[in-house]
Structure 1
Amino acid sequence: MMATSRDFTAKVVLITGSSSGIGAQTAVEFARLGAQVVVTGRRKDKVFAVAKQCAEASPTGAKALVVVADVTNEDDCRRLVSDTIKTFKKLDILVNNAGLYLVSSIWDGDILDKYEPIMNTNLRSVVRLTHLCVEHLEKTKGNIVNMSSIGAFKPSGLLYSMSKAALDMFTKCVALELGPKGIRANVVKYALPYVKLLGTKILCLNMDVTKAVLYLTSDDSSFVTGSNFVVDGGKQYV
């Protein structure tokens, strides 16, 4: 039987939007599996709370690096990456998890006011952080996971779906460009919190999504890049 590995000992993992929800769950699980984790978000209290959980989960009690930052702010993004490298001397995994959903319609009088924050969070920040991190990921033959949504191919809000569809194509293009450098890039598409499939209401948990991230960043998926990994309980079909 082929051996599998979920050992992230000594790996450095940067997860945006990791002060709550899926990002927080993912940070704790990476810590539990031996990684050195960078926890970041806009709320100082929440970021430190998750960092504490990471230290408690870590087999060695390793402390997470805390960086209070807004991914839509260019200076914050530069500080986030520079602090990571200054502290850990490398970067193995980038998880672009931070996201924003706002209800939007072409009829909205303020549609362009909504366009800016959605695109800045869901797309522009990912492009910026990927650009800042690739030189470090090249050194470690690392990988990138971008958190998308089934809204990318099943409309669920005009601007949100646009941003996620663009994110998916960005990931494919980056995977093609960075493959020769030994860097993998994949997308996780998910749907939360409930999925009604075949008359049954199924709760999709944060951990269900986290498991996909762990797989795509592990050696088990070493031949997987440019993929769209769907975690939606079949919601795309109903």
Structure 2
Amino acid sequence: GNVVHLHERDCSIQRRHQKVVEIAPAARLPPELRARLAQDAVRLAQQVGYENAGTVEFLVDQNGDYYFIEVNSRLQVEHTVTEEITDVDLVHAQLQVAAGRSLPELGLVQENIRVNGCAIQCRVTTEDPARGFQPDTGRIEVFRSGEGMGIRLDGASAFQGALISPHYDSLLVKVVAHGPDQPSAAAKMSRALAEFRIRGVKTNIPFLQNVLAHPQFLKGSTDTQFIDENPELFHLRPGQNRAQKLLHYLGQGLGSPG
């Protein structure tokens, strides 16, 4: 009979209804609207006798009116940003609830669940933004991730020598940055993405870097049309790949006669 909410996420930055960047909490959401969304999500769960973890999705329009979309009766890919701002291990909690423990036994009492800073998640994929996000395939020749304080990596199929096939999801790794506010979390994310070195397949990292640097994103004023209305996001800066060019040059020189 206990129901609590873990605050909201903003998943407005989408392409063809697929989420690209996720943020928690939502920026520039009026406090009264934030409270009403959370209260309605809790009421819904109470009315249907919902058990365990789930996500209630709403669509908020420019006038501050909101509309119910659906309930995802599971953890979503972007649950990591909620974990970062609430310090709640959602995977562990849902397993404990399934085993019969109550929310108070797990310390999940509403007044104790507070928002700590801001978290941003980017999905690094083997997609080529310059070609309509067409999935790229091949073998990863070099893989090095960006890390550091406030950076969390949830790995998928990313490692040197991995063969990227067209038959599976193109996700390589989820990168989560946590900071005191959205600009600082975005700065950490930009720094981490700049430190990635992935060779052999194209990735969406240059596109993600453009999103993170966009003034509209930094002001927290993006909506679901953000990508479609900002074609400059596709002005991508090519990678240098200097080390491999040098190795290739040396290899050709050492292998030549004389």
TM-score interval (norm. to shorter): 0.3 to 0.5
Larger radius of gyration: 2
TM-score, structure 2 normalization: 0.31
Taking structure 1 as the reference length, the TM-score comes to: 0.33
Q: Which protein is richer in strand relative to its size? A: 2
